[in-house]
Structure formats: structure tokens, C-alpha cells
Amino acid sequence: MSMSKILPVKGARDFYPEEMAMRGWLYRNIRVVSESFGYQEFEGPFLERLELYAAKSGDELVKQQSFVFEDRGGEMIALRPELTPSLARMVATRSQALPRPIRWWSFGPFWRYERPQKGRSREFFQWNIDILGVDTPQADAELAAVAAVFFRNLGLPSSAVRILVNSRTLAEIQLETIGIPSDLRQQTFRAIDRLDKMDQRKWEAYASEVGLSDDQILALQDVLTDTEAWKQSKQLVSFFEAVEKLGVSDYIEYDPSIIRGLDYYTGIVFEARDADRRHRAILGGGRYDDLVSIVGGDPVPGVGFAMGDVVIGLVLEDAGVSPELRPNPAQILLVAFDEASLLQTLSISSELRASGLRAEWYPQADRIKTQLKYADRQGIPIVLILGPDELANGQVTIKDMRSGDQISLDRSDMIEHIGEIL
């Protein structure tokens, strides 16, 4: 424990090969689903001027929850806490040149200066995927479908995760109908956001503290339990129709209490939760039609979501579908018997690599037993043994660790044989 006195910084994680294998697996799955819908990978800078975020997210968020420092030129720099503003800038910069629709995705590190807890660290990896230049509900539906297909690919059934959808446009109309004045809208949204965190009495007290009348609170509760209200929204009707055609209806449902915290959302908003609500939101997103113009470009509508690596990992674990990954990539271990055969394994290993195989050689002539044990522990499926007998006959012995079968054959036949059993 006190092996090293210098610990990782609070909320940062070491990625040993095992964890790195998991991250790589996530990244690969993200790539597969993103690309299957035609999205292109991009990346923004990890460092941004602080002002970029001030533009859109409240100053509280920026000042208290970002890693910020002053560079040597006196510039205030932030470690990026999110990608969407960078994306908006990149799109704004080439707004004229980029063919629409713009379908982009990204996976990279982000930082938030928050108190770490389960499912929340200060340094984390996030998948971002966005479609810009279209404002149709079908585009929103595609993003929800991307998320649903991703879950399905990972082995998370719709009984385990749900994508909950609402429309801010609809929510605003609902508040207006109830007679909640627009200056109470923000706070009312916040109260809605907290609905599932408080019991009813507490929530009512909170709502009344915010300035809502008893009648308004009652009416609001009606609205928030009306699971049919989406039918009043043309937007949502089209959205669910598209979701149906995309074949992911089972994952996606209307939830009038979904609001999302961010100020820049303008239309449909959604988040994914595990069915038992044991964890924070797995991903969250929505439509942001004004953001590109806020960062100084011609208006470009957009919709997208972001998913952190931490919560999805916990959810996969809970569902029992976390993959068993082998950090060691080698397909073949070359086992030597003595100094002479060890040298021979070097040239054989090169030969194997030249034919596209991943081969690792054991770097000292330990007992065969020890070397096989290493292969076993590392999960290397094939061992190539080279001892005096093999050397004398120009042969190699190839052992399949999974079946235990082994065969000695001429060196010229080894690659073909390996190809057969691999």
C-alpha cells in the first residue's frame, strides 16, 4: 500500500492492462455502432479557453466544476469538461464547407472538478455522438436508436436499460397551461429533475418553496404521471414513429420527468438509466439548436448525447455481461529448452510475425513446466516448443493449450498447422 508515496490525483484512475482491455473493448463497440450509422470519428483539443464554456453552461458549472489554470501568457485555460462546445466551434468554423448532415462521434478523456463517488470520477472517458445540420424528429430518433443498438450489442437487454425521452418544448407548454410563469420555469424544471430523489411530501414542500401554489403542484403532479402526454406533441409522435421503424421501441419510452440539467437543450431530451435505478444516468443528451450560433457561427441545429465510461461499466457488471478479456494479445508462446533453442525461437518468432501472427517468446530457458504455466496464466492458446529433439530433426512441437493436443512437425508446415487450429 505504501509501495509508492505518490498516489494518483484524486478521482484519477490507473489503467492496468486489465482495465485497459476493458476500455479498448468499449471503444471498439462504440466505433462499431457509430460507424454502422455512418458517423465519422473526430477529436477536439483537451485544452480549451475557459470562455468557450462560459458561453453556454452556467458560470457555476464552469468556475466550480472545471479544472482551470492560468497559462504563462495569462490566458485562462480549462481541461475540457465536455465536448459539445468544441464540436459547436469546429462546426461553426467550417460551417459553409461541411456537407449536411454532419454525423460525428468521438471517444476521449474529460475532466470535472467534482467530489468523486461511485460512477463519478474526476478524469473519465466519454463517448460523444452528434448529428448536426438537421432538425427533424427522425434525427433525434436516430440518436436514441444508436444508443439502443449499442446496448443491444453489449448484451444489455431492454429489461436492463431504458432510454427515457421527453421534450422541453412540450414541458414548457405544459407549464404554461398550468399557469406557471416563465420566470419560475428554470426552478420548476429543477424541481422536476429531483422528483425521483425525494419522497412525495418532501418534494411538495420543495416545490412550494420554489414558489408554486398548491394547485400548481397538483397539476404538475398530474402532468408528470401522464404517460400519454407525448401524443400532444407532434415532435414526439414523429419521434416514436421513427423509433418504431428503427426497430428499437422496446428500449425507448416517454418519461415526462426527464428534463436534463443543461441550459442549452432546446427540444427533445433523453437519458438512459439502468432498470433498477441503482446508478446515475448511463448517458444523456438532447437537441441543441442554438449552440453553434452561441459560439459564433451561422445557426446549425444539432442533437447528440454523451456517455461516460464509468457508469456503463458498473451497469455491465450488474447485468453480468461484462466481458472476460485477456490483456495478453499473443496467440503463440515460443518455449525454449536451452540457450541454443532459445536463439532459434527468436528467428521462428520473426517468421510467425511476418505471416501476421502475434507471437511472444519466453526470454530465458526456464523449465518447460514454468513456461507452460506462464502460457496458461496468460491465456495464450498455442505453445510452440523447441527442444534438442526438434532442433535435431528440423521440427517444432505445437501444443494447443485448450485441448492439450500436441504434434511435432516440420518447420515448413508450422504456419499452416497453426492457422488450422487457431
383 and 401 in contact (C-beta within 8 Å)? yes
Helix axes of 234-245 and 168-178: crossing angle, nearest 10 degrees: 150
Say if residues 337 and 398 touch (Cβ distance below 8 Å): no
Which residues, 6 or more positions from 336, have their beta carbon under 8 angstroms from its beta carbon? 342, 344, 345, 361, 362, 365, 371, 386, 387
* CB nearer to RNA: pick between 65 and 208: 65
3-state secondary structure of 208: helix
Between 57 and 349, name the residue whose CB sits nearer to RNA.
57
Residues 27-66 that bind RNA (CB under 7 A): 53, 57-58, 60-62, 64-66
* Window contacting RNA (CB under 7 A); options: 28-36, 163-171, 222-230, 361-369: 361-369
Closer residue to RNA (CB): 82 or 142: 82
Pairing mode, strands 161-167 and 252-254: parallel
Please, what is the minimum distance in Å from the beta carbon of residue 343 to RNA?
16
Nearer residue to RNA within complex by CB, 242 or 384: 384
Q: Which is nearer to RNA, 154 or 259 (CB)?
A: 259
The least CB distance from residue 113 to RNA, in Å, is 7
290 sits near RNA (criterion: CB under 7 A):
no
The dihedrals phi and psi of 90, each to the nearest 5 degrees, come to: -60, -40
Q: Is 194 in the site for RNA (CB under 7 A)?
A: yes
If binding is defined by CB under 7 A, does position 118 make contact with RNA? yes
Output 242 or 345, the one with its CB closest to RNA: 345
281 forms part of the interface with RNA (CB under 7 A): yes
Tell me if 106 sits within 8 A of 41, measured CB to CB. yes
108 contributes a contact to RNA by CB under 7 A:
no
DSSP string, 240-303: HHHHHHTT-GGGEEE-TT---S-TT--SEEEEEEETT--SS-SEEEEE-SSHHHHTTSS---EE
Q: Which of 33, 44, 82, 107 binds RNA (CB under 7 A)?
A: 82
The reply on whether position 337 binds RNA by CB under 7 A is yes
What's the CA dihedral at 74, 75, 80, 81 to 10 degrees?
80
Stretch that binds RNA, among 18-26, 158-166, 342-350, 365-373 (CB under 7 A): 365-373
Output the DSSP codes for 48-110: EETHHHHTTS-HHHHHHHS-EEE-TTS-EEEE-S-SHHHHHHHHHHTTTTSPSSEEEEEEEEE
Compute the least distance from the CB of residue 388 to RNA, in Å. Answer: 5
* Among 72, 73, 99, 197, interactor with RNA by CB under 7 A: 197
Nearer to RNA, 281 or 359 (CB): 281
Stretch in the footprint of RNA (CB under 7 A) among 99-107, 143-151, 280-288, 318-326: 280-288
8 Å CB contact between 235 and 247: no
**b/e code 166-188 from CB counts within 10 Å (16+ = b):** bbbbbbeebbeebebeeeeeebb
Per-residue DSSP letter, 375: H
| CB closer to RNA out of 246 and 316 | 316
- Which one, of 244, 35, 29, 317, lies nearest residue 153 by Cα? 29
**Listed ranges 226-234, 321-329, 353-361, 371-379: which one lies at the site for RNA (CB under 7 A):** 371-379
Using the contact rule CB under 7 A, the part of the chain among 28-36, 113-121, 210-218, 243-251 near RNA is 113-121
Which chain residues interact with RNA by CB under 7 A?
1-3, 7, 9-11, 53, 57-58, 60-62, 64-66, 81-84, 112, 114-121, 190, 193-194, 197, 260-262, 280-281, 284, 306, 337, 366-370, 372-377, 385, 387-390, 397, 399, 401-404, 406
